[in-house]
Amino acid sequence: EDQVTQSPEALRLQEGESSSLNCSYTVSGLRGLFWYRQDPGKGPEFLFTLYSAGEEKEKERLKATLTKKESFLHITAPKPEDSATYLCAVNQAGTALIFGKGTTLSVSS
């Protein structure tokens, strides 16, 4: 039973072409939804935590939003350096984070 599902698995964009990544979750008692960025061969790098539906957070070209069943990571005018795997994770009732499989983003110039 998948608790965190990310789509698409892979996304190829041209530089400046905005898009969104999706993370849907089925856990109950959500105590936080997390977005991480992971570069090849490295550990995940924390981006955002969202706690309640309607919450939004921004960092440079990235904006994360949360509804009761899913979260979106919007990428505005991406650059090649935004290429990475973006991971979504949920914290259910204070236990360890449960991760999705990630979306691999490639941005070409």
Partner 1 sequence: DTGVSQDPRHKITKRGQNVTFRCDPISEHNRLYWYRQTLGQGPEFLTYFQNEAQLEKSRLLSDRFSAERPKGSFSTLEIQRTEQGDSAMYLCASGRQDYGYTFGSGTRLTVV
- Cβ contact 15:78 at 8 Å: yes
Cβ closer to partner 1: 46 or 68? 46
- Contacts (CB under 8 A) with partner 1, residues 75-104: 87, 89, 91, 94-102
Cα–Cα distance between 13 and 43 in angstroms, integer? Answer: 24
| Minimum separation from the CB atom of position 77 to partner 1 (A) | 25
| C-beta contacts of 43-46 below 8 A and 24+ residues apart | 44/87
- Cβ contact 4:51 at 8 Å: no
Q: Exactly one of 8, 18, 29, 45 binds partner 1 (CB under 8 A); which one?
A: 45
68 binds partner 1 (CB under 8 A): no
Interface residue list for partner 1 (CB under 8 A): 4, 31-32, 34, 36, 41-46, 49, 87, 89, 91, 94-102
